[in-house]
Amino acid sequence: SAVISQKPSRDICQRGTSLTIQCQVDSQVTMMFWYRQQPGQSLTLIATANQGSEATYESGFVIDKFPISRPNLTFSTLTVSNMSPEDSSIYLCSVAGTGDGNQPQHFGDGTRLSIL
Amino acid sequence: SQQGEEDPQALSIQEGENATMNCSYKTSINNLQWYRQNSGRGLVHLILIRSNEREKHSGRLRVTLDTSKKSSSLLITASRAADTASYFCASTSGTYKYIFGTGTRLKVLA
């Protein structure tokens, strides 16, 4: 299975600043996803990172707040912009081999973000 | 919300006992998957059961699926302290979207 490296693993940021989270996969993958997880809660899909085109955002998430890049099939970044305390959360990158939901997802260990 | 529901929310058992957690979902599915999340880590895939399957085993894990009731259960037999984690179900319906359940926090006491 794919090995996913996510950086940074944690950060404490000031409100109003932005942070870019990196996700590196050890093999080429079709699908890359970004999730948000409040401590002790379930996962909420932010967007699907598409290689060579704009990301597909879920309801409630917008590109201005969460710009995503995917320059190739092994790398993606998620930026959390103009952060507020409500953005304090765990951000997870995941990958899957196909876009039909018939394969498991493989996750990075997440980025634990705290906004002061 | 499309989110699946899991119960119990939390479960505490003694080492060696069996742990059962349940997942209910809302729409028809292609498959249902179970994941484990250790504290401070990402999710790890455990098992996938397709909509035309009723039961599946993997080591100490047994998963059942009842599509008429839109529910699934995960049984961990002979639990160990290392099984302490949160467990999530995730359903898919033929698209890229995985609908994750609310999770069950399992604590296995040594």
pLDDT in tens, A11-42: 999 999 999 999 999 999 988 999 999 988 89
B3, B42, B103: residue with CB nearest A110: B42
Instruction: Note the helical H segments in B1-110.
Output: none
Smallest Cβ distance to B31: which of A45, A102, A109?
A102
Residue A99 has what pLDDT?
A: 73
Give the Å distances, CA to CA, from A49 to A43, A105, B33, B65. Answer: 17, 14, 22, 31
Tens digit of each residue's pLDDT (9 = 90 or more) over B64-88: 999 999 999 999 999 999 999 999 9
Residues of chain B that touch chain A, judged by Cβ-Cβ distance less than 8 Å: 3, 30-31, 33, 40-45, 48, 88, 90, 92-98, 100-103, 105
The residue of chain A nearest to residue B37, with distances taken between CA atoms, is A109
Query: With 70 as the cut, is the pLDDT of residue B13 above it?
Result: yes
| Pairing of β A4-7 and β A19-25 | antiparallel
